[in-house]
């Protein structure tokens, strides 16, 4: 098998969703002729230092590949926080300083040892010709560009889970942040100049990034792990209909439009069936949690809000629901969040409302057939009522799902697409 090097900040046992993408590559690339060598942060030692006495180098070798863990050092921001400056102007100054300096020096990065260990691996394995840097954090591209300069035979690929300088969501408008954004845009173009190509999660993001960095891009979406859904069949309560939303609730998502539909339908059905709402992980983002609680305070016990839970627990809660909820990010396009693919694995009806008239609607309605495009409140009401009536009549809602598209969005299938990209790129630099 051909060895390839993958640098990623996130990797299990990290509980962040971002860890699933490189983990899938580690798990499945060997099936397609590649031996992945992962270099990542030692999350176990960072999260529980009192329980874990770690000596480095720390390496785990399995049949699929190997993982090299590096320590995560305190950031400038964290060091300032320990000194009591977290919320003070001095603390904010340290945060700004860190954002600026990481554009110029690897030494300020808490994960700087990713470079040193990757350098050692490339030096001792001269046959490694492909490197993937999976971001964010985006200074991983800085690390990859430095390695590319040191090893001229190396072809490195940038993995954008989200776009960077071209990103439109959650951008600050202050002068200070505009300065940071301008520095990051300069760095992105500079670092990516030495890459051979990039991969990302939607066609719109690929178009946006390609126009900015002048490099070819390829689609490698997120996905679901098929084995996570080998769950025992659950007996759902006949007099309860559960609608489940997983993950963070962002300001751009129009929760109120969905709740308007929910309240209208509930009013007509409250004597026939209890329609309950379940928000998993919403507590992890306090602003979103506060907004949610204010919006549903009149619904009492019909709403259950969960903190962040393990992936296994989340999947179990979703599986025990009757419908899964997706909401577009305002007018933003090209954002197929990872929870969308987690939803697909359940083969449970998905209500996309409000929709994005883009990639989310296309995947749910046009491809997998797990939902339908809902153009306005009346169609959303009809969609929800149809599923309620199906449950009340104990007659399953007629499914027209497309199994081929559902498999297409499995982690294994997407890893096969990545393997195709690896085979197609030129391995010899001119």
Q: What is the CATH number of the domain that holds 136?
A: 3.40.50.2000
Residue 400 sits in the same domain as residue 415: no
Residue 86: predicted pLDDT = 57
In a domain, 430, yes or no: no
Q: Which helix (H) or strand (E) holds 246?
A: strand 240-246
Same-domain check for residues 83 and 156: no
C-beta separation of 260 from 284 below 8 A: no
Q: Please give the pLDDT value at position 84.
A: 58
Q: % helix / strand / coil in the chain, to the nearest 5?
A: 45, 15, 40
User: What's the pLDDT at 257?
Assistant: 96
Strand runs labelled E in 161-291: 197-200, 217-219, 240-246, 274-280
Q: Are residues 39 and 54 in the same domain?
A: yes
Q: Find all residues with CB under 8 Å of 76, minimum gap 6, and list them.
A: 94, 95, 97, 98, 101, 108
Is 328 strand, coil or helix? coil
Structure tokens at 429: 């630099």
On whether both 329 and 348 belong to a single domain, the answer is yes
Domain that holds residue 273: 227-408
pLDDT mean values, one per 10 residues, the chain (430 residues): 96 89 97 97 81 79 95 75 61 74 90 96 96 95 97 96 77 71 92 96 94 96 91 75 94 94 95 95 88 93 90 90 93 85 94 94 93 94 95 76 87 97 69
Query: Could you count the other beta carbons within 10 Å of the beta carbon of residue 362?
Result: 17
Q: What is the Cα–Cα distance from 356 to 373, expressed in whole angstroms?
A: 9
Q: Is residue 429 part of a domain?
A: no
Are 340 and 326 spatial neighbours (Cβ–Cβ below 8 Å)? yes
pTM of the model: 0.88
- Are 127 and 3 within 8 A, CB to CB? yes
376 and 296: one domain?
yes
Q: Is the dihedral of CA 16, 21, 22, 23 positive or negative?
A: positive
Q: At what angle do helices 140-150 and 113-124 cross, to 10 degrees?
A: 30
Please give the span between the terminal C-alpha atoms of the chain, in angstroms, as a whole number.
25
* CA 133 to chain CA centroid, nearest Å: 15
Give domain status of residue 231, yes or no: yes
Catalogue the E-assigned strands of 9-97. 34-41, 58-61, 66-70
């Amino acid at each position: 098998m051909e060895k390839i090097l993958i640098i990623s900040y996130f990797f299990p046992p990290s509980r962040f969703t971002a860890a699933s993408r490189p983990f899938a590559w580690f798990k499945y690339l060997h099936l397609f002729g590649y031996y992945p060598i992962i270099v990542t942060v030692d999350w176990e030692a960072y999260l529980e230092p009192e329980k874990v006495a770690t000596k480095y180098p720390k390496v785990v070798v399995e049949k699929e590949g190997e993982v090299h863990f590096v320590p995560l050092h305190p950031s400038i921001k964290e060091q300032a926080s320990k000194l009591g400056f977290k919320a003070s102007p001095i603390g904010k100054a340290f945060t700004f300083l860190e954002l600026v300096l990481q554009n110029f020096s690897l030494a300020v990065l808490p994960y700087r040892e990713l470079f040193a260990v990757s350098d050692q691996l490339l030096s001792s394995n001269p046959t490694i010709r492909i490197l993937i840097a999976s971001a964010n954090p985006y200074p991983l591209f800085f690390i990859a560009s430095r390695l590319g300069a040191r090893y001229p035979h190396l072809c490195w690929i940038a993995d954008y889970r989200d776009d960077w300088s071209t990103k439109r969501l959650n951008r600050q408008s202050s002068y200070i942040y505009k300065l940071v954004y301008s520095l990051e845009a300069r760095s992105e173009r500079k670092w990516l100049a030495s890459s051979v190509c990039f991969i990302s999660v939607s066609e719109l993001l690929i178009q946006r990034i390609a126009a900015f960095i002048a490099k070819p891009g390829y689609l490698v979406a997120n996905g679901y792990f098929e084995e996570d859904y080998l769950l025992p069949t659950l007996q759902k309560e006949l007099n309860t209909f559960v609608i489940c939303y997983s993950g963070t609730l962002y300001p751009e998502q129009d929760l109120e439009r969905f709740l308007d539909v929910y309240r209208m339908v509930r009013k007509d059905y409250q004597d026939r069936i209890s329609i309950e709402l379940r928000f998993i992980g919403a507590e992890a983002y306090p602003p979103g949690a506060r907004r949610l609680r204010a919006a549903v305070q009149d619904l009492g016990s019909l709403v259950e809000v969960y903190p962040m839970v393990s992936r296994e627990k989340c999947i179990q809660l979703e599986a025990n629901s009757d419908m899964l909820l997706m909401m577009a990010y305002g007018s933003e396009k090209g954002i197929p969040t990872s929870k969308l693919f987690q939803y697909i694995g359940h083969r449970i009806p998905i209500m996309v409302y409000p929709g994005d008239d883009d990639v989310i609607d296309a995947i749910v309605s046009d491809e997998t057939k797990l939902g339908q495009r809902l153009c306005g409140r009346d169609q959303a009401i009809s969609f929800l009522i149809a599923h309620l009536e199906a449950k009340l009549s104990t007659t399953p809602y007629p499914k027209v799902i497309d199994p081929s598209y559902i498999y297409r969005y499995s982690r294994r299938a997407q890893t096969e697409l990545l393997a195709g990209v690896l085979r197609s790129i030129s391995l010899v630099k001119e």
